[in-house]
Amino acid sequence: MKGSQAMARKRPVLGNDPFQRGAAVRPEAEAARKKTEPAKRGAAPEPKKGGRKRAAKQPAAEQAVAKQAVATEPVAEKPAAKKPAAKKPAAKKPAAKRPAAKRPATKKTRTAAPPELAAPPPAEAAERSTRSTARPADLLPADAGAEERRPAVVAVEPIAPAPDHERPLRIHPTALDALEAAATAVAGVLRLPGSPTALGVDEFGRDPGFEEQVRPLLEWIYERWFRVVAHGFDALPRDVPLVLVANRAGALPWDSLILSLAARRAGLEVRPLVEDSIFHFPSMGLLINRLGAVRACPENAERILGDGGAVAVFPEGATGFGKPYRERYRLQRFGRGGFLRLALRMEALVVPVSIVGSEEIYPLLGKVGVRPFGFPFLPITPTFPWLGLAGLLPLPSRWHIDVGEPFDFRAYGTQAAQDEPLVMRLAEEVRGTVQHLLDARLGQRRSVFR
Amino acid sequence: MATRTGAGPGGGDGRGMPQSIAIVGSHGLLGRRLAQRLAADPAVARIVAIDLRPPEEPLPKVVFHRIDLTRPSADQEIADILLVERCAALVHLAFFGEPIPNASYAHELEVIGTLHVLTAATAAKVERLVMRSTTAVYGAHPKNPSLIREDQRTRGAPSSRFVGDKLEAEREVRRFAEEHPEVAVAILRFAPILGPGARNLISRYLSQGVAPTLAGFDPLMQAVHPEDAVDALLAAIRLGAAGVFNVAGAGVLPISAALRLRGTRAVPLPHRLAEAALRAMRGVGLGYALPASMLDYLRYPVVTDIALAKETLGFKPKHSTLEAVQAIDQPGSEAEAR
Across the 450 residues of chain A, what is the mean pLDDT of every consecutive 10-residue run? 42 38 44 47 39 40 44 41 39 39 35 37 40 36 40 37 44 80 82 77 91 90 92 91 91 90 92 91 91 93 94 87 84 87 94 92 82 79 81 88 94 92 93 94 87
Query: Domain B20-337 class?
Result: alpha beta
CB atoms within 10 A of CB A231: 26
Amino acid at B295: L
| pTM of this prediction exceeds 0.80 | no
Distances (CA, A) of A23 to A30, A35, A344, A417, A423: 11, 20, 18, 21, 18
Which pLDDT does position A77 carry in this prediction?
Answer: 42
The answer to whether the CB atoms of B147 and A295 lie below 8 A apart is no
Q: Does A131 touch chain B (CB under 8 A)?
A: no
Instruction: Name the residue facing A282 among B216, B256, B260 (closest C-beta).
Output: B216
Nearest CA in chain A to B261: A197
pLDDT along chain B (338 residues), means of 10: 42 69 94 94 94 88 93 94 94 92 91 95 95 95 94 91 94 96 96 92 89 91 96 95 95 93 90 87 69 90 95 95 90 44
Sheet strands side by side (includes A310-313)? A229-231, A400-403, A349-356, A242-245, A310-313, A270-274, A294-295
Question: What ranges in A221-266 are assigned the alpha helix state H?
Answer: 254-265
A43-52 residue pLDDT tens:
433 434 333 3
Half-sphere exposure of A305 (CA within 13 A, CB side): 28
pLDDT reported for residue B125: 93
Residue among A351, A154, A143, A149 nearest A244 (CA): A351
**pLDDT for residue A148:** 42
Inter-chain touch A199–B142, beta carbons under 8 Å: no
CA distance A202 to B253: 8
Three-state secondary structure call for residue B187? strand
How many residues would you count in chain B? 338
Of A201, A284, A295, the CB nearest to B252: A201
> B301–A205: do the CB atoms touch at under 8 Å?
yes
- Between chains, do B218 and A282 touch, taking CB under 8 Å as contact? no
Q: Is the ipTM of this complex over 0.90?
A: no
The predicted pLDDT at position B322 comes to: 94
Using CB atoms within 10 A of its CB, is residue B102 exposed (0-12), middle (13-18) or buried (19+)? Answer: exposed
Q: How far apart are CA A338 and CA A334, in angstroms?
A: 9
How do the domains of chain B map onto residue ranges? 20-337
Q: Does A264 touch chain B (CB under 8 A)?
A: no
> From the CA of A215, how many Å to the nearest CA of chain B?
21
pLDDT at A186: 82
Q: Are A329 and A438 in contact (CB under 8 A)?
A: yes
Which of A191, A199, A202 has its CB closest to that of B218? A191
pLDDT at A385: 80
Reduced 3-state DSSP string for B16-52: CCCCEEEEECCCCHHHHHHHHHHHCCCCCCEEEEEEC
- Domains of chain A (ranges, CATH numbers): 2-156 (no CATH), 175-444 (3.40.1130)
Cα(A334)–Cα(A430) distance, integer angstroms: 9
pLDDT score for B193 = 95
| B215–A203 C-beta distance less than 8 A | no
**CA dist., res. A5 & res. A432, Å (int):** 14
Which pLDDT score is estimated for A81? 39
Contact assignment for B146 to A205 by CB distance below 8 Å: yes
* Inter-chain contacts counted by CB atoms under 8 A, chains A and B: 65
Q: Which residues of A touch B256 (CB under 8 A)?
A: 191, 197-198
Model pLDDT for residues B16-42, shown as the tens digit of each residue: 889 999 999 999 999 999 999 999 999
Please list every residue in chain B whose beta carbon sits closer than 8 Å to the beta carbon of residue A283.
215-216
Which residues in chain B belong to E strands, given as ranges?
A: 20-24, 46-51, 62-66, 89-92, 128-134, 184-190, 210-214, 220-221, 243-247, 253-254, 265-269
HSE toward the beta carbon, residue A301, CA cutoff 13 A: 26
Question: Residue B98's pLDDT is what?
Answer: 87
Count CB atoms within 10 A of the CB of residue A450.
Answer: 9
